[in-house]
DNA sequence: AATGAATGAGGCTTCATTCAT
DNA sequence: TATGAATGAAGCCTCATTCAT
């Protein structure tokens, strides 16, 4: 499976461990970890501006003042949670020597999609709360918004465009559909599934493998190359 | 075009006018209107809990106390903005004698999709800020969440299921794709467009007609009937 | 019975009627009356400073502004309720040509006490709420405090002193007990009854006549054992 | 003297010290003490609902927010002042092994009365302001009212009834006067003195010992003419 | 005369942040 | 390093009072 080709989370690292450091060495006292954990909990439940640092401190089992030893302000605490998450969101594209499409490890678009969906579903499941915070706060935090636009909308679009055109050339994607639309359809479909799966109907008894297959079929037929449509 | 068949917003009524009253006669003083307008502005910019009633008052050009003559609490103000919006979100499905699919005014799924997209794009464009507030606050306001689940996830899913199966019977949608998945794909694709169009890249010079066509093509081919797939 | 000798409330005049006018001709619109009534209700229930003029207006069935046509301020409203009540509290002593003790209409102290108790019990029962307000607010309203000290503690003490010494001379009250103490004992006993009767245990099934007799006996003879009384 | 038999306040403990703890060890920072002191002052002067927390803070020399570190709400602050006071009001009756009347340490009713008056006068003098607040607020604070009815009107009446009947059996109180009336007369007379002494004429140069004697004589023998007293 | 919309001062309370210990 | 008492700005809300109608 292509899954392990892109996965940045194969190991069972605690997300917390990875927050401030991807590859870098991170020093985190247990207190700091519990502060982060508690902050994620409270931010995700109440929303950033309704979250009280006192509640975070209490949930973390530290004094109120202690939080401010590690994070100068409450906003600092927020950014130190969601900032790194943004990095991880786009990890599959920017990590490693993924510069060109030359080293694209997937033969078919379908394989790429499947690997991507499996991987991002896993990621989203694991960091559900942080992603919630991120999505909720992006509109109100200029710092986040900017980082999001630059990194995600910038970096990723660029790479995904390359990938898409790579598969267009291979004839797997209809050249009649503009690349941005292809990306939009693909992303919509995948995120649509993640949303339904994790946010809207988390209680429903999902068969992930089947749903992923269905979703990929939908994407492929929707944007299938001329051969597909001509037939 | 099927557009005018579903549209509940053909006329140019100010949204504000319609907030508390659909069909009913509404009495709103200019001051109350400006309070609502200002509240929409500020809630949408800052988020509910970061919005100060003092700022709303200032922007509305009234004394802070005046707000509380019209709305008992700040939360009341929020609900009186987003509550009615929720009603309008699902209006195309629940308004009128839309009980069965018998009176479905569209011959083809494509027509239905186009009418729906055009109509909802128009609606979302007009009430963009309110929808932002709504989406932002649903996770944190139990009252909203409940109303959303009951009305939107309840009412709408039910009706859309009926519609979908109607077109399945007509052979326009592959019977091999489970109805929930069809709905998910359709909704994802449409909302994906709305999101990209209005939220992510509002500055881009969109050709709505063309994009809508593309999106519909994508949906149709993705979930196309057996003929398409069999070929 | 001496009751009707002192009573200033023999007739069934509505208290409201008499508020602003004792003997004077009073002009009160129905609106003003209902404002007063409502104010008495609300002040007595919530206390002056916790009473909202809006609630008074609502209960009176008038607009908020109307109150301020009749009473310049909320405090004015209070004073116009409790001020006249103060006058009535001491009415038995100051009304009429009660200048000397010459016209004291009672032969014995016992008769005086009985008449007084019956009369004041009736009065307190009728104006219970107003008296509550008065007692609650005297400590916090300098205007009331002053009026109370001047009128009640001044006027009344003076007259009651005369009465007491009148009965001392007649040998009905021990000359060994200083007059202020006699007054204190008498007043304590009577008000003790009123308090228990109306405020502390209003639900108890009181036999007023018997209790009044007992109280008078107590004032006159104390509660000493049978030996004492027998002698 | 029986005084020291009942007194729970012989020592000069600051009331403040004893507020939250009778017998228990209490931890109170100087700031908390000054908040309580200031609150007692302001509540007593202005009444609870007219007292501003800002004024209390100012008088206590702390920031307004500091009050709310110690007391969650303004009402909490009130209750933490008057609640314990209620306990102390009835302390002479409920503290210690005062279960039966067997251990009644007084031979004669007169001794009991004197001890009680001296003790409660001392208590009332010391906690004058708190008692003022208590009496003012009982009618408006359901929590207080309930506690008052249960503890004071319940507990105390029961015990005092026992005491009274004890002395009736000893022939010191006329068995012809119903016990509730005896209690009422006694309490009225004593509280009448406290009221006059501390509230109505605090400036007057009182001779407490003599007045207490007089009051006790009154309770025992009334103010009947010379015939009675001559015996 | 009566209304009630509008005001704005002031009340209670929360909370991010500081700082002495 | 960690604490948590203390702060005070700012938030939401109430309410007596005014004034145009």
Give the model confidence (pLDDT) of A13-69 as tens digits: 334 444 444 444 467 899 999 999 999 999 999 999 999 999 999 999 999 999 999
How far, rounded to the nearest angstrom, does the alpha carbon of residue B19 sit from its chain's CA centroid? 14
CB-nearest to D229 from C47, C176, C182 is: C176
- Residue C134, judged by CB atoms within 10 A of its CB (0-12, 13-18, 19+), counts as buried
pLDDT value of residue A151? 83
Record the pTM.
0.87
**Burial profile C83-113: b = 16 or more Cβ within 10 angstroms, e = fewer:** bbbbbbbbbbbbeeebeeeeeeebeebbbbb
Residue D51's SS3 state is coil
Place of tokens 């003297």: D1
State whether B188 and A184 contact (CB < 8 Å): no
Q: Distance of alpha carbon B85 from its chain centroid, rounded? A: 8
Helices and strands (H and E) in chain B: how many: 14, 0
Residues 6+ apart with CB under 8 A from C129: C40, C41, C43, C44
| Amino acid B2: pLDDT | 38
pLDDT at D4 over 80: no
First to last CA, chain A: 30
pLDDT score recorded for residue B26:
62
Interface contact A198, partner B, CB < 8 A: no
**Contact residues on chain C for D112, CB-CB shorter than 8 A:** none
Q: Identify the CA nearest to B100 among candidates B163, B147, B37.
A: B163
Convert the pLDDT of each residue in A99-117 to its tens digit. 555 566 788 889 989 999 9
d(CA D209, CA D187): 18
Q: Which residue has tokens 């979703």?
A: A215
Of C20-24, D11-15, D204-208, which gets the smallest average pLDDT? D11-15
Query: Rounded CA gap, C163 and A34, in Å?
Result: 82
Residues in Cβ contact with C144 at an 8 Å cutoff, skipping those fewer than 6 apart: C79, C82, C83, C86, C134, C137, C138
pLDDT truncated to tens, each residue of chain C (231 aa)? Answer: 334 433 333 333 334 444 444 444 467 899 999 999 999 999 999 999 999 999 999 999 999 999 999 999 999 999 999 998 888 888 777 655 445 555 667 888 899 899 999 999 999 999 999 999 999 999 999 999 999 988 888 888 888 898 899 999 888 898 989 999 999 999 999 999 999 999 999 999 999 999 999 999 999 987 765 444 433
* Structure tokens, B28: 């709103």
Nearest by Cα to C123 from C202, C218, C42, C198: C198
- Contacts of residue A139 in chain B, CB cutoff 8 Å? 47, 132, 136
Task: Tell me what the pLDDT averaged over chain A comes to.
Answer: 83
Q: Which residues pair with C224 in a beta bridge?
A: D173
pLDDT on residue C156: 86
Please state, for a pLDDT cut of 90, what percent of chain D lies above it. 60
Residue C227 burial (CB count, 10 A): 11
In this prediction, residues D151-169 reach a mean pLDDT of 88
What DSSP assignment string belongs to C199-230?
II-TTS---HHHHHHHHHHHHHHTTB-HHHHH
- A-chain CB neighbours of B136 within 8 Å are 136, 139
Give the number of other CB atoms < 10 A from CB of residue B166: 18
Cα–Cα distance measured from residue B154 to residue B145, given in angstroms and rounded to the nearest whole number = 12
- For residue C213, give Cα distances in angstroms to B106, D81, D98, D191, D228: 95, 40, 34, 21, 19
pLDDT at C107: 85
Task: For residues C34 and C14, give the distance between their C-alpha atoms in angstroms, rounded to a whole number.
Answer: 12
Listed in order, strand segments (DSSP E) in A23-182 are none
Predicted local confidence at residue D229, as pLDDT: 41
If phi over 0 gives left and psi between -120 and 50 gives alpha, with beta otherwise, what is residue C96? Answer: left
Name the stretches of chain B with pLDDT < 50. Answer: 1-25, 97-98, 225-231
Give, in degrees to the nearest 5, the angle at Cα B173 between B171 and B175.
Answer: 85
**Contact partners, residue D61, CB within 8 Å, separation at least 6:** D34
| Residue A179 predicted with pLDDT over 60 | yes
Q: Which two tokens stand for residue A105?
A: 């490890």
Q: Residues D113, D216: contact at Cβ < 8 Å?
A: yes
Q: Cα(B49)–Cα(B42) distance, rounded to whole angstroms? A: 10
What's the confidence (pLDDT) of residue D107?
85
Distance CA D86, CA D108 (A): 28
The shortest C-alpha distance from B163 to chain A (Å) reads: 19
**Residue contact C192–D174, C-beta within 8 A:** no
List the end-to-end C-alpha distance of chain B, in Å, as a whole number: 30
Contact C221 D222 (CB under 8 A): yes
Q: Which residues lie below 8 Å from residue A163, measured CB to CB, with a gap of 6+?
A: A101, A104, A112
Residue A112 contacts residue A104 (beta carbons within 8 Å): yes
Chain F nucleotides reached by a protein CB under 7 Å: 1-20
Say if A200 is an interface residue toward chain B (CB within 8 Å).
Answer: yes
Specify the pLDDT at position A97.
45
Tokens of B101: 């699919």
Residue A29, nucleotide of least CA–C1' distance: F1
- The 3-state DSSP class for residue D11 equals coil
With H, G, I as helix, E, B as strand and everything else as coil, classify residue D87.
helix
Residue keyed to tokens 């100051």: C94
- Res D64 pLDDT > 90: yes
- For residue C76, CA distances in Å to A72, B170, B203, C22, D224 come to 55, 80, 63, 19, 46
Strand F contact with C54 (CB < 7 A): yes
Q: Among C140-154, D100-114, D124-138, which range has the highest average pLDDT?
A: D124-138
The answer to whether the beta carbons of residues A82 and A151 sit under 8 Å apart is no
Q: What is the pLDDT of residue D19?
A: 43
Structure tokens at D139: 């009618």
- Within 10 angstroms of residue C12's Cβ, the number of other Cβ atoms is 7
Mean pLDDT of D159-163: 89
Q: How far apart are CA D216 and CA D190, in angstroms?
A: 8
Identify the chains in contact with D, defined as 3+ C-beta pairs within 8 A.
C
The dihedrals phi and psi of D173, each to the nearest 5 degrees, come to: -125, 135
Average pLDDT over residues A60-79: 97
In what helix (H) or strand (E) does residue A116 lie, and over which residues does it extend? helix A109-126
D169 contacts D175 by C-beta, under 8 angstroms: no
Nearest-5° angle of CA C189, CA C190, CA C194? Answer: 120
- Residue D225 confidence class, pLDDT cut points 50, 70, 90: low
- A181 CA → F10 C1’, Å: 47
Looking at residue C19, its pLDDT comes to: 44
Reply yes or no on whether the pLDDT at D105 is more than 70.
yes
Proximity of residue A64 CB to strand F below 7 A: yes
Q: Is A231 on the interface with B (CB under 8 A)?
A: yes
Question: How close, in Å, is residue D67 to chain C by CA atoms?
Answer: 22
**And the tokens for A58?**
């209490």
What whole-number distance in Å separates Cα of residue C111 and Cα of residue C102? Answer: 16
- Select the residue from C185, C201, C230 to test the D interface by mutation, using most D Cβ atoms within 10 A: C185
Q: Kindly calculate the radius of gyration of chain A based on its CA atoms and give it in whole angstroms.
A: 20
Query: Which positions of chain E lie under 7 Å from any protein Cβ?
Result: 1-20
User: A77, A98 in Cβ contact below 8 A?
Assistant: no
Helix and strand numbers, DSSP H then E, in chain C = 14, 0
Hey, which residues does D173 pair with through a beta bridge? C224
CB-to-strand F under 7 Å, chain C 166-225: none
* D 30-89 near C (Cβ less than 8 A): 46-47, 49-50
Three-state SS for A61-75 is CCCHHHHHHHCCCHH
Name every chain B residue with its beta carbon within 8 A of the beta carbon of A213: none
Give the pLDDT confidence score for residue B24 in this predicted structure: 43
Give the residue on D whose Cα is nearest the Cα of C190. Answer: D188
Triad B109, B112, B117: Cα angle to 5°? 125
Rounded (10°) CA dihedral C81, C82, C84, C88: 130
Tell me what the mean pLDDT of segment A168-176 comes to: 89
Contact D190, D215 (CB under 8 A): yes
Distance from CA of D105 to the nearest CA of C (A): 20
Q: Please, how many CA atoms are within 13 Å of residue C179, restricted to the half-sphere of its CB? A: 13
Q: Is D219 on the interface with C (CB under 8 A)?
A: yes
DSSP code, position B36: H
Q: What angle do CA D49, D36, D65 make, to 5 degrees?
A: 75
Nearest to D171 among C185, C186, C225 (CB): C225
Strand ranges inside D107-183, DSSP E: none
Name the DSSP letter for residue D152.
I
Residues from chain C that touch D193, judged by Cβ atoms under 8 A, are 184, 188
Determine if strand F comes within 7 Å of the CB of C53: yes
- Partners of C46 on chain D (C-beta within 8 Å) are 140
Gap between the Cα atoms of B25 and D17, Å rounded: 64
Rounded to 10°, the helix D179-194/D109-126 angle is: 40
Tokens of A34: 């519990």
At A140 the pLDDT is: 96
Q: Residue A192 is nearest to which of B188, B211, B217, comparing CB atoms?
A: B188
Please, which pLDDT band fits residue D20 given cuts at 50, 70 and 90? very low
Return the residue matching tokens 């490693």: A96
Q: Is D173 helix (H, G, I), strand (E, B) or coil?
A: strand
| Distance from C-alpha of D167 to C-alpha of D163, rounded to nearest angstrom | 6
**Chain A, chain B: beta-carbon pairs less than 8 Å apart:** 95
Q: What is the pLDDT of residue C87?
A: 84
**pLDDT-above-90 percentage for chain A:** 58
CB contact under 8 A, C215 and D172: no
Provide the pLDDT confidence category of residue D7 given band limits of 50, 70 and 90.
very low
Write the pLDDT tens digit of every residue in D114-126.
999 999 999 999 9
pLDDT for A43 equals: 98
């Amino acid at each position: 499976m292509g899954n392990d080709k892109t996965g940045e989370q194969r190991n069972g690292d605690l997300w917390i461990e990875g927050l401030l450091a991807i590859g870098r060495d991170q020093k985190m006292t247990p207190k700091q970890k519990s502060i982060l954990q508690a902050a994620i909990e409270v931010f995700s439940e109440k929303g950033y501006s309704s979250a009280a640092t006192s509640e975070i401190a209490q949930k973390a089992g530290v004094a109120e003042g202690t939080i401010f030893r590690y994070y100068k302000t409450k906003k600092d605490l927020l950014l130190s949670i969601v900032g790194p998450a943004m990095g991880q969101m786009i990890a599959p594209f920017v990590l490693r020597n993924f510069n060109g499409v030359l080293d694209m490890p997937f033969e078919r678009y379908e394989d790429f999609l499947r690997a991507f969906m499996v991987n991002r579903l896993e990621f989203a499941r694991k960091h559900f709360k942080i992603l919630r915070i991120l999505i909720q706060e992006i509109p109100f935090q200029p710092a986040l918004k900017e980082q999001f636009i630059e990194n995600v909308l910038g970096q990723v679009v660029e790479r995904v465009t390359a990938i898409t055109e790579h598969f267009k050339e291979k004839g797997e994607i209809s050249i009649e559909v503009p690349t941005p639309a292809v990306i939009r359809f693909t992303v919509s479909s995948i995120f649509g599934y993640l949303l339904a799966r994790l946010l809207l109907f988390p209680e429903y008894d999902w068969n992930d493998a089947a749903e992923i297959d269905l979703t990929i079929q939908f994407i492929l037929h929707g944007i299938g190359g001329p051969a597909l449509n001509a037939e």
